């Protein structure tokens, strides 16, 4: 059976990781992998997480399964973090299943959509996170793209986006990035979210909101503002969330898939289908990551500490954006000021593949082929080397 298989290409980012590890250049910089890094290039365990883990180690009494939906305390607190005091929560119209990471949540959502409408098309931004398309296609769904990022002007193709969304058939799914768009860093503003929400309500497509970076943009509530506007306007909504970035729990694989229905009774039916999907994929989610988040959000002291650490990460990223712009504008004759107007960990440099290859081969600077950079990979220690290298390949 296995002899008929053909080798598949390595995931570009995983390939970059391997090449970076093997590079002997002492000045090498990894700007490809999408994890937060501090000034020393480390991805630290948050102090709030350490305290929550110590509490869990002392107080955990069983290793039994936690159920199809996962940790119910976690699920409830994630709903509140996403939606605040939204009327959908007050009306008991929201159901949530813990999932193994944001990726797991997206796959659960994809299989849920197939149960609802196997002929649905999923519409994603151009560009979008590389794994989005393969996740939905693996579930048997058709994927199409709608205009989003303006590569030439380093902004949004909002008019083109709106014209396309107006033509999306009723019953299709439109994936929207809640904040910190991956890979461009370009987000919708509140006025634009209002327009998108009105179109969703008028046309009848179902929004699927991917919120993997809540708190990394401008704040926990601000980053969920577009999501909450959508929930105001549409009766049905799918939300896929992740705790990898904002809690720093990358390897714990902790996320959630939330469904908003138009009534509590329909939410119960949808939840039964959602849990059936979970059962057919991985049966029960792991406990550790959810217990950490539940412990943090269930403690005023740990929540306050987490808010401080989250703000520190966010402020560092935003400060690095200004640092990068100043350095590149000094070293080159191009205008990189657009980087300051974006949010989250990612931005496109806007350089070509030949220049990207030169950065890797000549300077040990690793960037994915689209020119997306992880802003958090820059530091005060390497900014001069980075900016001079970019200037060299541009010239």
* Residues identified as active-site: 129, 210, 245
The number of beta carbons lying within 10 Å of the beta carbon of residue 171 is 14
In the chain, alpha helices (H): 12-22, 47-59, 72-83, 87-90, 101-116, 130-138, 158-165, 190-203, 220-223, 225-233, 264-281, 288-297, 300-331, 353-363, 383-394
User: 50: alpha, beta or left, given left = phi > 0 and alpha = psi -120 to 50?
Assistant: alpha
Write out the DSSP string of 233-287: H-S-EEEEEE-TTTS--GGG--EEEEEE-SSHHHHHHHHHHHHHHHHHHTSS--S
Q: 């107006």: which residue's tokens?
A: 166
What lies within 8 Å, CB to CB, of 122 at 6+ separation is 110, 113, 136, 141, 142, 143, 144, 172, 173, 174, 175, 208
Task: Give Cα separations from 166 to 133, 204, 214, 236, 354 (angstroms).
Answer: 21, 10, 28, 18, 38
The number of beta carbons lying within 10 Å of the beta carbon of residue 97 is 25
What lies within 8 Å, CB to CB, of 365 at 6+ separation is 28, 29, 31, 359, 386, 389
8 A C-beta contact, residue 244 and residue 210: no
Q: Where are the beta strands (DSSP E) in 138-221?
A: 142-147, 149-150, 155-156, 173-177, 206-211
CA distance 129 to 3: 32
């Amino acid at each position: 059976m296995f002899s008929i298989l053909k080798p598949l290409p390595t995931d570009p980012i995983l390939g970059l990781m391997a090449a970076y590890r093997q590079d002997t250049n002492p000045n090498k910089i990894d700007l490809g992998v999408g994890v937060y890094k501090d000034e020393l290039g480390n991805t630290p365990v948050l102090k709030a997480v350490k305290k929550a883990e110590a509490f869990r180690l002392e107080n955990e009494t069983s290793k039994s399964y936690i159920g199809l939906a996962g940790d119910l305390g976690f699920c409830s607190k994630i709903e509140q973090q996403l939606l605040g005091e939204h009327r959908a929560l007050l009306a008991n119209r929201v159901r949530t299943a813990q999932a193994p990471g944001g990726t797991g949540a997206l796959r659960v959502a994809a299989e849920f959509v197939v149960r609802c409408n196997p002929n649905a098309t999923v519409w994603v931004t151009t560009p979008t996170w590389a794994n989005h398309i393969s996740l939905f296609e693996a579930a048997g769904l058709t994927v199409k793209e709608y205009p989003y990022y303006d590569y030439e002007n380093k902004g949004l193709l909002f008019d083109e986006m709106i014209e396309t969304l107006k033509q999306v058939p009723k019953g299709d799914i439109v994936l929207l990035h809640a904040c910190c768009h991956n890979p461009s860093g370009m987000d919708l503003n509140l006025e634009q979210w209002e327009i998108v929400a009105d179109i969703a309500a008028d046309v009848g497509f179902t929004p699927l909101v991917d919120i993997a970076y809540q708190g990394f943009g401008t704040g926990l509530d601000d980053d969920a503002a577009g999501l909450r506007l959508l929930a105001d306007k549409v009766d049905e909504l799918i939300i896929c969330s992740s705790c990898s970035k904002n809690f720093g729990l990358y390897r714990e694989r902790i996320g959630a898939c939330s469904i908003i229905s138009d009534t509590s009774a329909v939410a119960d039916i949808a939840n039964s289908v959602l849990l059936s999907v979970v059962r057919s994929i991985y049966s029960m989610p792991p406990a550790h990551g959810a217990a950490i988040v539940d412990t943090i959000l269930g403690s005023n002291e740990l929540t306050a500490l987490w808010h401080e650490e989250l703000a520190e990460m966010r402020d560092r990223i935003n400060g690095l954006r200004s640092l990068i712009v100043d350095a590149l504008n000094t070293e080159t004759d191009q205008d990189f000021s657009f980087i300051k107007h974006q949010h989250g960990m990612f931005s496109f440099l806007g350089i070509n593949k030949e220049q990207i290859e030169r950065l890797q081969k000549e300077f040990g600077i690793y960037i994915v082929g689209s020119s997306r950079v992880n802003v958090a990979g820059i530091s005060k220690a390497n900014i001069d080397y980075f900016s001079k290298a970019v200037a060299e390949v541009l010239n």
